[in-house]
Amino acid sequence: MSRKQMKCVLIDDEPMDLMALSELMSSYDEIEIVGKFHDPIEAKDFVNKSKVDIIVLDVEMPELNGLDFIKSVVNVEHVVLISSHKTYAAESYDYNVTDYIVKPINKKRLDQAVEKIKLVSDSIKTSFDRDFAFVKDGTKIIRIDFKEILFIEALADYVQINTIHGRYTVLATMKSMQSNLPEDDFFRIHRSYIVRKDKIRVIEDNMILMETKNIPISRSSKQEFFNTFNFL
């Protein structure tokens, strides 16, 4: 069975760099380029109104840099950042990007990024009607029931799924995890954490107290999070 094409948007304020990136990305049969933008503001509006699976964008752009761009868009599973410098590489993983590439971009390096995107996409196979997912943990494929998940934590290129039975490390992004989980049951409480709401026992100050870990509530998520609860 052929893989469904993933919809991709390219963003770079340098016309020649955008053209070169477009030529390289066009060589992948599994990727459909649905937008190319020099202006990140225009790109943001397009992405938030469209179904986009992948964004490949420059970090250093006027008006809206790549990291701020990531914070301004929703429901995009894969983000690949590109830059002329390694300066933002460490910080970028706080945003759960799929990959970070230093310019000039070549086909071999882009092949690695695309392969990583495919691995992340394949690492979670979800059956919403059955309330479980199959995930790849190393060489094992494991069934995880959603009701058994306590919380999910970002670990650089991976996420760790913490359940009542154990921990499983999966090659995935937090965005891909979030999009594969029932939104009524789970909430992304922090850039690095997703919690299952019915497993919460105590909330104190800006922390969720779990049996094995205290999880911070981000300032930007706090009000929306509390709005999901019915208080007596």
Model pLDDT for residues 95-128, shown as the tens digit of each residue: 778 899 999 999 999 999 999 888 877 766 554 4
Residue ranges, CATH 2.40.50.1020, the chain = 125-227
- Confidence (pLDDT) at 123: 66
The whole-angstrom separation of Cα 139 and Cα 171 is 12
Q: Is the pLDDT of residue 145 over 70?
A: yes
* 66-101 pLDDT, tens digit each: 988 988 887 788 899 999 988 888 788 777 788 999
> Confidence band (pLDDT; 50, 70, 90) for 14?
very high
Computed over every residue of the chain, the mean pLDDT equals 87
Instruction: List the one residue out of 214, 194, 197, 196 whose CA is nearest residue 206.
Output: 214
Q: Is the pLDDT of residue 137 over 90?
A: no
In CATH, the number for domain 125-227 is: 2.40.50.1020
In percent, the amount of the chain with pLDDT more than 90 equals: 43
pTM score over 0.95: no
Residue ranges, CATH 3.40.50.2300, the chain = 6-121
Q: Does domain 6-121 have CATH number 3.80.30.20?
A: no
- Asked if 119 contacts 111 with a C-beta cutoff of 8 angstroms, the reply is no
Q: Is the pLDDT of residue 180 over 60?
A: yes
Return the minimum-mean-pLDDT range out of 16-20, 106-110, 158-162, 169-173. 169-173
Got the DSSP string for 127-187?
A: EGGGTEEEEEETTEEEEEEGGGEEEEEEETTEEEEEESS-EEEEE--HHHHHHTS-TTTEE
- Asked if 173 contacts 120 with a C-beta cutoff of 8 angstroms, the reply is yes
